[in-house]
Amino acid sequence: MNIAADAHTEGPSSYVRAAELELREVSKRYPGQLIPAIEKLSFTVPAGEVCVLVGPSGSGKTTAMRLINRMIPISGGDILLGGRSVLDRNPRELRREIGYVIQQIGLFPHRTIEENIATVPRLLGWPKARIDARVAELWDLIGLRKDELSGRYPAQLSGGQRQRVGVARALAADPPLLLMDEPFGAIDPINRARLQDEFLRLQQQVRKTVVFVTHDIDEAIKIGDRIAILREGGDLAQYDTPAEILRSPADEFVAQFVGADRGIKRLSLIALEDLTLLVPDDSPRRDAPATPVPRVPLTMSGRDALSLLLTSRATHLLVVDDDGAVRGNVTVELLHRRLAEDGAAAGTSARAEPTAGGGTWVGAVSSDGLDGKRQAAEDVDGAAKARSGA
Amino acid sequence: MNMLATTGPVIPEYAKHSVSCVVHNHTFCWSWATSNWSSVLWPALRQHVYLVLIAVSIGFVLSMALALIAHRFRWFEQPTILVTTFLYTIPSLALFELLVAPVGANLYAAEIALVSYTLLVLFRNILTGLRAVPAEVLDAAEGMGMTRTQALLQVELPLALPAITAGLRIAVVTTIALATIVYTIYDAGLGVPIHIALGEGPFKTELICAAALTIGLAIVCDGLLVLTQRALTPWLRARSHGG
């Protein structure tokens, strides 16, 4: 399970394998504050997966992220990166091995884009030729045109371009772990969606372990392989795959946080090609006098299909592949059945296996209440009192 | 007029070329300036440049050290402001005289006084520049694994350059002006010919030359600093002509 990658490989184009990240009962207390910012937070991010930390403000998600690269000192517990405690590491060296992207990006205004991207390789003392090769590679990776932007300063870029450069700078030294704190938070919705898609495509390519902080549950569902939902006081409410969190929220807090439309959100995780489509031949006859049936691609999400079914007058959609050949029909009923089946199947399968630390008490809150400390799940004050009493 | 004519021979060189101008005390005698350039004006100008250069250099190093301490330890700022402001408000003539007793009427006394007047403006500007570095830029620097020293040298100081240069420009210009009264305790700088001219009665050429050189020196130094800053901060001129 542990895929450790402590050293950088030599060739600039060979990606260092991602490393597993494990938080073990991590706590953060600020002096003079009664309620800890983070209390015994445990979860494991398998190597190469994107873990989204999401929660309302005050839930300590950014704090949790900054504990990992020791920007904030840990009060208790331990964090393992690739099986090795970050506490044993020199903080500077540790940070050079962890990509870091923040919402305001923080590009160096006095350095050109190339110089910005080359920051960590330069700190690591790479030879110039290797740095140049790596920077050239990153231009392509982040989808910016070198001939257009080479030698420019950050002030000359658009917000989206700056964000891309920020990601390139974080990836420059091929870190096994990437920390991203609301990286798209300051971008307008259209560009944000584009950057999210780009990020997912990039992640397909580089397969880093990523800890991604956001307050936007939709972004979390779209980006995350796993989502850690935190409530106030850095308390982990649920840690699971997006599908599982939407299907069975651990408690009222999670249910409320993911929203009443979680059924529709679940459909957004399903593409039409994942469905067992209805055989198309008899349907047209039934609808013969009605409006023309919309044709939709296999890659369309269940959510968009439902939306189209609700807004068009058709009772079904024709799903066609890239060549235009009909692959089957989709109806509201089919989507509904799929969600029901999903629910039943996931209830028995071990597909969504939360890891030991995070998993043990997920769900314990509402059902058995064995853990006194977690009993008052929805009531933060109550939880705090219980904790200080314990 | 008569008096001037009789004192004329004391400075025999000008008599050779332009007796009439000096003798008739025109407002400005170009011939006096040219014939006294190498003997009077140029040495005074050179001394003046040295006085200013030494004072601003020492003042800059001291202020930089103080500002770096205050940048690291916030409590250090107020006492430093208090002391440097106090130094700045001492009347310059009085300070020069006060320093003669402990230090002597020499270059040291002159430089101590000049340096003390540069501290306030340099300290404040350097500190302001360092503090104006955006928090997210520093956060990124730290998050990418820069040490404190690396962040200071590679990020904070370069970004503080405009503010630092602004301080240097004020310090240089004021020191150039102030150095003209160094003559009261030490025989150097453009203050010397000004003082002589004032003591010599109605003949104004020497006074005008020295004053013009002082002003010219200030303008040239200021211009050099502006050009240096422009060369060192290319990112400030690179504004969005794209993206």
Alpha carbon A221 to chain centroid distance? Answer: 7
pLDDT > 70 in chain B, percent: 87
Per-residue pLDDT of A294-336, as tens digits, reads: 888 888 888 888 888 888 878 888 888 888 888 888 888 888 8
Residue A365 has pLDDT above 50, yes or no: no
pLDDT > 70 in chain A, percent: 81
Which amino acid appears at position B179 of this protein? A
- What's chain B's length in residues? 243
Which amino acid appears at position A237 of this protein? A
Instruction: Please state the domain count of chain A.
Output: 2
Q: Into which CATH architecture does domain B53-191+217-230 fall?
A: Orthogonal Bundle (1.10)
Whether residue A204 sits in one domain with residue A155: yes
Give the residue with greater pLDDT, A96 vs B36: A96
In whole angstroms, give the CA distance from residue A93 to residue A237.
Answer: 33
In b/e form, how buried is each residue of B214-225, taking b as 16+ CB within 10 angstroms? beebbeebbeeb
A261: in domain: no
In whole angstroms, give the CA distance from residue A202 to residue A142.
Answer: 8
pLDDT > 90 in chain B, percent: 65
- pLDDT reported for residue B20: 63
Asked if the Cβ–Cβ distance from A123 to B233 is below 8 Å, we say no
For the residues A34-53, what does the mean pLDDT come to?
Answer: 91
A122: nearest CA in chain B? Answer: B146
Per-residue pLDDT of B82-113, as tens digits, reads: 999 999 999 988 898 899 889 888 999 999 99
Query: With a cut of 0.85, is the ipTM above it?
Result: no
Residue ending a domain, among A241, A262, A292, is A241
- The answer to whether residue A169 neighbours chain B at the CB level (below 8 Å) is yes
Asked if the Cβ–Cβ distance from B243 to A104 is below 8 Å, we say no
- pLDDT reported for residue A26: 92
Whether residue A228 sits in one domain with residue A118: yes
A159: nearest CA in chain B? Answer: B243
Least confident of A375-384, B28-37, B80-89, B167-176: A375-384
User: What CATH number is associated with residue A280?
Assistant: 3.10.580.10
Alpha carbon A167 to chain centroid distance? Answer: 15
Q: What does the DSSP 8-state code read for residue B39?
A: I
Whether residue A85 sits in one domain with residue A37: yes
A6: in domain: no
Contacts of A106 in chain B (CB under 8 A): 134, 136-141, 143
Contacts for A140 with CB less than 8 Å, ≥ 6 apart: none
- pLDDT reported for residue A289: 53
In whole angstroms, give the CA distance from residue B238 to residue B168.
Answer: 23
In b/e form, how buried is each residue of B135-170, taking b as 16+ CB within 10 angstroms? eebbbbbbbbbbeeebbbebbbbbbbbbbbbbbbbb
Give me the sheet containing A235-240, strands edge to edge: A98-102, A177-181, A209-214, A50-54, A226-231, A235-240
Which residue of B138, B142, B144 to mutate against A (max A Cβ within 10 Å)?
B144
Per-residue pLDDT of A227-247, as tens digits, reads: 999 988 888 999 999 988 988
For the residues A114-129, what does the mean pLDDT come to?
Answer: 94
Asked if the Cβ–Cβ distance from B142 to A104 is below 8 Å, we say no
- The answer to whether residue A116 neighbours chain B at the CB level (below 8 Å) is no
Answer yes or no: are the C-beta atoms of B33 and B21 closer than 8 Å.
no
A256: in domain: no
For the residues A55-66, what does the mean pLDDT come to?
Answer: 90
Token readout for A358 is 């995070």
Whether residue A277 sits in one domain with residue A228: no
A2: in domain: no
Contacts of B242 in chain A (CB under 8 A): 148-149, 152, 156-157
Instruction: Count CA atoms within 13 Å of residue A234 on its CB side.
Output: 25
Whether residue A237 sits in one domain with residue A276: no
Cα angle B228, B233, B237 (rounded to 5 degrees) comes to 110
Which residue of A65, A108, A142 to mutate against B (max B Cβ within 10 Å)?
A108
A379: in domain: no
Give the residue with greater pLDDT, B79 vs A353: B79
How far, in Å, are A375, B22, B198, B205, B208 from residue B9 at the CA level?
108, 11, 19, 17, 22
- The answer to whether residue A92 neighbours chain B at the CB level (below 8 Å) is yes
User: What CATH number is associated with residue A62?
Assistant: 3.40.50.300
Whether residue A306 sits in one domain with residue A216: no
Per-residue pLDDT of A153-166, as tens digits, reads: 999 998 889 999 99
Spans of all domains in chain B: 53-191+217-230
- The answer to whether residue B241 neighbours chain A at the CB level (below 8 Å) is yes
In whole angstroms, give the CA distance from residue A193 to residue B233.
Answer: 36
Residue A345 has pLDDT above 60, yes or no: no
Answer yes or no: are the C-beta atoms of A205 and A141 closer than 8 Å.
yes
Q: Mean pLDDT over all residues of chain A?
A: 80
Domain of residue A35, residue span: 21-241
- The answer to whether residue A149 neighbours chain B at the CB level (below 8 Å) is yes
A111: nearest CA in chain B? Answer: B235
In whole angstroms, give the CA distance from residue A87 to residue B144.
Answer: 17
A202: in domain: yes
Asked if the Cβ–Cβ distance from B140 to A105 is below 8 Å, we say yes
Whether residue A94 sits in one domain with residue A149: yes
A370: in domain: no
Token readout for A155 is 């002030």
pTM above 0.95, yes or no: no
A353: in domain: no
Per-residue pLDDT of B124-157, as tens digits, reads: 999 999 999 999 999 999 999 999 999 999 999 9
Confidence at A379, pLDDT banded by 50, 70, 90: very low
- The answer to whether residue B242 neighbours chain A at the CB level (below 8 Å) is yes
Token readout for A78 is 């331990």
In whole angstroms, give the CA distance from residue A252 to residue A237.
Answer: 10
Token readout for B94 is 């009085």
Whether residue A118 sits in one domain with residue A54: yes
For the residues A378-388, what does the mean pLDDT come to?
Answer: 39
The pairing of strands A235-240 and A226-231 is antiparallel
Contacts for A3 with CB less than 8 Å, ≥ 6 apart: A17, A18, A19, A20, A47, A48, A82
Residue A52 has pLDDT above 90, yes or no: yes
Residue B10 has pLDDT above 70, yes or no: no
Per-residue pLDDT of A62-108, as tens digits, reads: 999 999 999 999 999 999 999 899 999 999 999 999 999 998 899 99
What phi and psi values does residue B210 have, to the nearest 5 degrees? -65, -40
Specify the 3-state DSSP secondary structure of A53.
Answer: strand
Whether residue A236 sits in one domain with residue A302: no
Helix locations, chain A, DSSP H: 61-68, 91-96, 113-117, 119-123, 128-141, 146-149, 159-171, 189-206, 217-223, 242-247, 252-258, 262-268, 283-286, 302-311, 332-348, 356-359, 380-389
Contacts for B113 with CB less than 8 Å, ≥ 6 apart: B92, B95, B96, B99, B182
Confidence at A269, pLDDT banded by 50, 70, 90: confident
Contacts for A118 with CB less than 8 Å, ≥ 6 apart: A131, A134, A135, A172
**The tokens 């003539």 sit on which residue?**
B93
In whole angstroms, give the CA distance from residue B142 to residue B150.
Answer: 9
Smallest Cα distance from A124 to chain B, Å = 9
